[in-house]
Structure 1
Amino acid sequence: MIKHKLKIALFAASLILSPYLAFASIDQPSQLKFISYNAYWGMKSDQSEGKQKFIDWAKKQDADIIAWQEMNHFTREKLEKFAQSYGHKYAVLLKESPNLDDDEFFPVAITSKYPIINVTKVTDNLWHGALYADIGNYHFIVTHMNPFWTAKRVDEINLIIDSVKYSHDPNGKWILAGDLNSFSPLDKKEYEQGHLVNDLKQKEANRPILENLVDGKLDYTVQQNLLDAGFIDVLRMKNNNFVATAPTKIFYDQASTPLRYDYIYVSPALKKDILGVEVLKDDFTDQYSDHYPVQMVIKNN
């Protein structure tokens, strides 16, 4: 009888401990690690089967949630398999190209250890689109803004700001992340001491489609509108010094001036919960994308 009860107890314990049956709740960890990463043209720098080098890097980071940009050539099934390889059971892709050989299709994505719910995929009036998703009581927006025209980026960010303002939870815990392809007024001093304006003038002369300067000057409207709406630039909040997110070492010929295009913004409800923010620069990120990832760690309340 005692042996029988012991077997039942051991079986019950195995069910509880099983990684396949145990439910991972976002309420459990005291901290959450979040990474935003523009992975460069569908991770084209990684020629391994299934993007194993990116998987190995993601495993080492052990982030709870990752927002990806430029997930070219990924399908929903490929993204889910990719995410599961580094311990994320849940994954959502913004959009899927009808032609998987299309190099000019730039979806964003989000993957997580915890259930991703209340997903909204917005592509109207946005260049690459925006992915809205809740994980626990956190509201995420992952986007990749227009790379060509400042005026269009201003329209895009105003749409995103209004989507929060008129949402069901405007005062909630919002996290906006991605490649915003724009300049922050908080970095104005660093930019105006360098050669960035001349770089952009030369690029616009070579490619007339580009309109990233306004009257021959840098424009800070996109980021200023976010700041005016109450959003907090967490990297600048935690770092007094300018930290570039592009270009990386292997792509350094893309610009003679270091740039910060990759951002994580949070709403005021999260300001006191920010524990640390950094740009992840290592042997891998030096070489596998033209952008560095940004990491944020928060208290999980």
Structure 2
Amino acid sequence: MRIATYNTFEGGRAQLGPIRGRDRLLLDVVKGINPDLIAMQELVDWQDHGRERFESFANAAGMAGEIFVGEGFPIGVLTRRPWRIARSRFLRAGFWHGLALVELEDGKGSLIQALAAHLSPLGPRQRHAEVAAALDLIDPAAPAILLGDLNLISHFDHVPVRGLTLPTFVRHAAGGALDQRVSRMIAGAGFVDAYARLHPEREGHTIPTPAAFESPFSPARLDYIHVSPGLAARLSSARIYRRPPAAEASDHFPLVVDLD
């Protein structure tokens, strides 16, 4: 099973460097990944006109799914057969963008819960409250995935504070140091950071891409796929997807995880 998360930078319509209209680039990236499950963030306007852009993208990618719309940026969850969304909920209250809880099934009796999140960019206190609420919804003893743009710097990543730009420091620090309570909370609940598990000595960043050369933020790994212990035993690969045209399709690189 291949799992991915991808922040699309305002759904492909916002200008990124010299590039306008990135729908085709985003589609090429997703088709290149060929995921069984992908969570997508910032699907701005994809819900308009009867979800026309969302449905068109899903069909072109050979997938199906749902788009969840709150007061923030929309979140999309797409699956490929045999996987499908059997049930879903969308939580708005207490979340900056919202939280999509979906139950996936493959028609053969396999069930997986997935929480697709796009956490607050404002600071660790807000993210702490969001994650606490999210963790109350799922049981890591059962097959479960927590994925998305979590807007946090993990305690697994040894990021020197002195090297951070001011905008990055403001969003991730408290008391003059990086506040990494959120990633510790997720780990304490039993979830495994797939990328950190398979690359303990190799740090990577999912933002910014070369196209976001004007970004005021420091390179960081803000996108995550966490899996429950049972699924962690099936981890076979985790990578930041950099194949063309990922470097120009968004300001984030996708994160991709494979389970045996």
- Aligned residue for 1:81? 56
How far the C-alpha of 1:117 sits from its partner, in A, is 1.3
Q: Distance in 1 between matches of 2:12 and 2:126?
A: 26
Give CA deviations for 1:5-62 in whole Å, capped at 9, x if unaligned: xxxxxxxxxxxxxxxxxxxxxxxxxxx111110010111257459x233223322322
| Pick aligned residue for 1:125 from 65, 73, 94 | 94
The yes-or-no answer on 1:195 pairing with 2:163 is yes
Relative contact order, higher structure (CA 8 A, sep 6+) = 2
> Structure 1 stretches of 5 or more lacking a match?
1-31, 98-104, 205-209
Alignment partner for residue 56 of structure 1, among 28, 36, 48? 28
Are 1:184 and 2:154 an aligned pair? yes
CA contact (8 A) 2:148 2:225 kept: yes
Distance in 2, Cα, partners of 1:211 & 1:38: 18
Query: 106-115 or 224-233, which moves further after superposition?
Result: 106-115
Q: How does 1:1-301 map to 2 (within 5 A)?
A: 32-44=1-13, 45=16, 47-48=20-21, 51-75=23-47, 76-88=51-63, 90-95=64-69, 105-113=72-80, 114-136=83-105, 137-165=111-139, 170-187=140-157, 189=158, 191-192=159-160, 195-196=163-164, 199-200=165-166, 212-240=172-200, 241-255=202-216, 257-299=218-260
Deviation at 1:66, TM superposition (A): 1.4
Give a deviation string over 1:107-163, Cα, whole Å, max 9, x none.
111011132111011111111011111111111111100001221111001111111
Letter in 2 for 1:121: F
Q: Find the aligned partners of 1:293 and 1:120 in 2 and give their Cα distance.
A: 24
**Larger Rg belongs to:** 1
Partners of 2:249 and 2:53 lie apart in 1 by 19
1:230-253 CA-to-partner distances (Å, cap 9, x unmatched) read 110000111131111111112133
Whose strand proportion is higher, 1 or 2? 2
TM-score, length-scaled by structure 1: 0.76
Q: Do the aligned residues in 1 keep the contact of 2:8 with 2:43 (CA within 8 Å)?
A: yes
Kindly provide the CA deviation profile for residues 49-104 of structure 1, in whole angstroms up to 9, marking residues without a partner as x: 9x23322332232221211011111113431221011101x21111167xxxxxxx
Identity %: 25
Q: Which amino acid aligns with 2:55?
A: E
